[in-house]
Structures are given as structure tokens and as C-alpha cells.
Amino acid sequence: MTAAVSPGSRFLPLPLAESKRTPIVVAGEGAPRVHIWQIGCQMNTADSDFLAESFAEIGMLPGAALEEADLAVLVTCAVRQHAEDKATGKLGELAAWKRERAGRSIALTGCMVGEHGSTLLRRFSHLDYVFDMRDPDGFFARLRDLYQGALQGPVPLPASDRLCTYLPVILGCNEMCTYCIVPFVRGRESSRPAEEIVAEARRMVDRGVAEITLLGQNVNSYWDPSSASDLPTLMEQVDRVPGLQRLRFLTSHPRNASDRLLSAMADLSSACEQLHLPVQSGSDSCLHRMKREYSVRDYRAILERARARIPGLALTTDIIVGFCGETEAEFEATYQMLEEVEFDTVHIQAYSPRPGTAAYRREDDVPRAVKSDRLQRVLALQRSISERRNAALVGTKVEVLIEGRGADGRAYGRSRQGRLVWIDGPVEPGSIREFKVVSTTAWQLVAA
Ligand code: SAH
Ligand code: SF4
Ligand code: F3S
């Protein structure tokens, strides 16, 4: 295994690193156009939205197709090797794109920067800029400098037709689960002032947003820096924003899933009946090696309280199979927990060693074929559970916020529980009303 950079250095953002090989010639007329490519979690979606707004503010046109673009920006993820491979694959494709026309350039940001920093410029000779999302000012200052004459003040963004949006409330993570690179690439926890968050929520709703998801790697450790109030209090404040229809939050650590949080979910009218609570494993010994700081029993007690307090609650979770040292018995414990709990949706991943994490020092000793077999077994189990749980909804009513239309013209949206619902019959995007479930699969409902 390759030597890792000291984890401590990776808590600091890298404002801007730039290739000195080829001077970037500004070509073409009019505002420079930007193409944003993104992978990874909801945090990256929120970051891409922020980047688009920032480009528009300095006079560049975000939202361009790749063929038309002058600048391509890759917003990357480092949570598993596969995510990195996708970004480096995309970067490889961009070599030819860059050669096609003078003046094109490529920037890379997102979580791979926290991991690799400016070494990416050495690895990829056609990459021009690397910057950290935690400190993007240097990058924008450089672009302003470079494009000077072509920038003619802020570009008005088309009125957003976005109905559902993410609102970051706490950045970073202090948990240090032994398998996870996120604390290294996103830094330590830092909560935004509640006042600022509520003002932003108000602006979003004024622009037509109906559903807001409060976002953080560990969202339920949110702590308002001035009043010290917590996530349930923030939810109360956002719930009062006039016109907001739905409120969600992601992702919660079981350690901080308090009864106050469950009460906020039960009592606030906009709070949706959906709780994503990653468990990672159903074995106490495995959870201990992962440094998750709860037992399976603690975890299941929270689920029981949540189900009792919030009628119609949908529960979702994340599972890692094949973590270092995972025995067949430990895996069986996870399988059994999934069978007994019956989650609505489970995101299952095979363990991927991440440089710099505590688990990286242990041997990745579950063979690839065993990981894959365990993955397939839990996928099959969960498919049958999701199928059964959804089938039980036939004939009941679900409230759906219509988000858009599919390729076949049919409208779709999500229920309050977060289930994807296709609608038979004419309905307009943006509307919110009840429908009756007519048929289901493991992954979606059809209602009319
Ligand atoms: N903050 C969230 C999500 C972090 S990343 C949480 O606390 O759960 C999203 C998911 O990716 C994690 O829940 C975990 O299931 C998975 N994950 C993280 N590191 C991983 C790794 N090294 N290999 C495989 N899956 C991983
Ligand atoms: Fe990673 Fe754990 Fe933090 Fe989630 S809580 S981001 S899994 S370190
Ligand atoms: Fe990936 Fe970074 Fe999210 S590592 S999962 S994009 S916080």
C-alpha cells in the first residue's frame, strides 16, 4: 500500500493550485461558458449549485453542455476507490475535449482535493486548476483575472424551477469512523449560524422551492454558534418559513438521534416521515472496529422509539459489507438485523480501503469474491423486503409532490416518506396532493 500524507495536513483547505505548463489563452467572444460534472453525495450537489451561482456572479455562464464549454469543472468524491476511478476516467476523456479548441481549461474540486491536493496536477498533465470547496475564493479571483474583458457583470440565472433543494447547515465531521475518509477531506465540524440558514431557506421558498433538506455529514450534531440551539430547534425555525411544504434532514449519526429530534419530526407539520440512519453493520464487534460508538441494541431501541413516535415512518440505512476482519458470523448478524428490522431502503456498499484512515492500517482481508457474495445476498434480501413493504401500500393514499415528467410523459414525484411515485393521469409539476397507490415494485409506486 502506498504511503499516505499525514492526515493532519488534510484538514486544511487548499485555496488554489495551478498548472504552470501551458498558459491559458482566452479564446472566443462573449461570456465564458462552464460545464460542471459531479459525482458523490448530496453535499456535492449543494456545492455544484453554489459553484453555478458563483460563476454567474462573476459573469460566466454555468450550465453549458460540454461541447460548448470553455471551462470544465469536476466536483469529485473520495468515499470509495470506485468514485475516484470515475472522476479520473472523466478527466481522461477531457484530454481530447481540451485539444479540440484553444482556450479550454479544466478544474478539479470536491473531496479528491482533500485527499490528493496539488499532486493531481502532476498526475494529470492536462489538468489546469485544483481548488478546495472550503476555500474557492482564490479560484474565482484567478478566473476574474484571466477572463477580465470577457466578463461583463453578473449573468442572470434563469429563474429556478427547482422544487426540492439541499441546504447545508453543518460542514465536516468529527466522528472518525475508522473506514471513512470524509473527516479528512471535508475537515472538522463547523455549524452555520441559524439566522443565516433561516434567511437562506426563506429566499429559496420565495424562489419556488417547496421542499428543503437540511444537510450535513453528521447533521444531528448541528449546534448554532451563537445560541447553542440544536437541530430540532433549527427545524422549528425553518418549519415556520411561510410557504415551505416539506422539511427533511440528512445524514444522522445514531449516537445523536435524540428523542427531541423524533419529537420535532412528529410535531412539525413540514417535517417528513423519513429517517435515514446509517447503521453500517449488525454486529457489535464489527461496529466496535468501525468506531461507531453504539451497539446494535442501542440502535434498534432508537428505531423502536422512532416508529412508535412517528406513524407511517420510512426508515433507511447504509451498510458496509466486507469490512476488515468481517467474519461470516458478523455478516450473518447484519443479515439477521436487516431481516428483523425491515428497512424501507438500504444503501449497501462493499468496503473500500481509504488512505489515511485508521482502517487503512489493517489488512483488507475479506476476499473480493466474498465481499461480492455478501453484497449480493443483502441486496436480494432487501429487494424482497422493499417489495413486500411497498406492496402493503396498495390501496392506501400517499401525498406526492410532483417534481417532473419522465421520458414517456408520465408525471413523477416523491411521497413524504421519500418513495418515488409515478402518476397515472394528468398532473402538473409543482402540485402537491394525495393519490391512491395502484401498483408497486421494490423501488417505486404507481398511483392515480
Ligand atoms: N455521514 C454519513 C455518510 C458518510 S459516506 C454517515 O455517517 O453515515 C456515505 C456512506 O458511504 C456511509 O454511510 C458508508 O456506508 C459508506 N462508506 C463510507 N466509507 C466507506 C468505505 N471506505 N468503503 C465503503 N463504504 C464506505
Ligand atoms: Fe464518515 Fe462516520 Fe463522519 Fe459519517 S459519521 S462522515 S461515516 S466519519
Ligand atoms: Fe463523497 Fe465527499 Fe460526499 S467523499 S460521499 S462527496 S462528502
Q: What's the chain look like in SS3?
A: CCCCCCHHHHHCCCCCEECCCCCCCCCCCCCCEEEEEECCCHHHHHHHHHHHHHHHHHCCECCCCHHHCCEEEEEECCCCHHHHHHHHHHHHHHHHHHHHCCCCEEEEEEHHHHHHCCHHHHHCCCCCEECCCCCCHHHHHHHHHHHHHHCCCCCCCCCCCCCEEEEECEECCCCCCCCCCHHHHHCCCEECCHHHHHHHHHHHHHCCCCEEEEECCCHHHCECCCCCCEHHHHHHHHHCCCCCCEEEEECCCHHHCCHHHHHHHHHCCCECCEEECCCECCCHHHHHHHCCCCCHHHHHHHHHHHHHHCCCCEEEEEEEECCCCCCHHHHHHHHHHHHHHCCCEEEEEECCCCCCCHHHHCCCCCCHHHHHHHHHHHHHHHHHHHHHHHHCCCCCEEEEEEEEECCCCCEEEEECCCCEEEECCCCCCCCEEEEEEEEECCCEEEEC
Atom of ligand 3 nearest to the CA of 75: 6
Kindly state which CATH superfamily the domain 164-391 is placed in.
Answer: tm_1862 like domain (3.80.30.20)
pLDDT in tens, 259-296: 999 999 999 999 999 999 999 999 999 999 999 999 99
* Mean pLDDT confidence for 225-245: 97
pLDDT in tens, 167-210: 999 999 999 999 999 999 999 999 999 999 999 999 999 989 99
Cβ contact 218:173 at 8 Å: yes
* Mean pLDDT confidence for 374-398: 98
Q: Is 40 in the pocket of ligand 3 (CB under 6 A)?
A: yes
Q: Identify which ligand lies nearest to the alpha carbon of 351.
A: 1
Cell of 325: 476482519
CATH classification for the domain delimited by 7-146, as one of 3.40.190.10, 2.30.30.60, 3.40.50.12160, 2.60.40.420:
3.40.50.12160
Measured in angstroms, how far is the CA atom of residue 9 from the centroid of ligand 3? 18
Q: Give start-end residues of each CATH 2.40.50.140 domain in the chain.
A: 397-447
Q: Give start-end residues of each CATH 3.40.50.12160 domain in the chain.
A: 7-146
The closest residue, in CA terms, to atom 12 on ligand 1 is: 318
Cell of 320: 458496509
Report the C-alpha gap between 355 and 115 in whole angstroms.
8
Q: Nearest Cα to 15, choosing from 126, 79, 87, 109?
A: 109
pLDDT score at 7: 44
Helices 137-147 and 42-58 meet at what angle, rounded to 10?
30
Please give the CATH architecture assigned to the domain spanning 397-447.
Answer: Beta Barrel (2.40)
Report the C-alpha gap between 445 and 443 in whole angstroms.
7
How far lies 15's CA from each of 135, 216, 334, in Å?
A: 5, 22, 42
pLDDT in tens, 395-418: 999 999 999 999 888 999 999 999
pTM of this structure: 0.93
Measured in angstroms, how far is the CA atom of residue 100 from the centroid of ligand 3? 31
Assess whether the previous peptide bond of 251 is cis (omega < 30° from 0): yes
Q: Give start-end residues of each CATH 3.80.30.20 domain in the chain.
A: 164-391
pLDDT score at 426: 85
The closest residue, in CA terms, to atom 3 on ligand 1 is: 217
pLDDT in tens, 297-349: 999 999 999 999 999 999 999 999 999 999 999 999 999 999 999 999 999 99
Cell of 403: 417534481
User: Is residue 2's pLDDT more than 60?
Assistant: no
Q: Is 257 in the pocket of ligand 2 (CB under 6 A)?
A: no
Q: Is 134 in the pocket of ligand 3 (CB under 6 A)?
A: no
pLDDT score at 244: 97
Best probe residue, ligand 2, of 170, 182, 184, 317 (max atoms within 8 Å of C-beta): 182
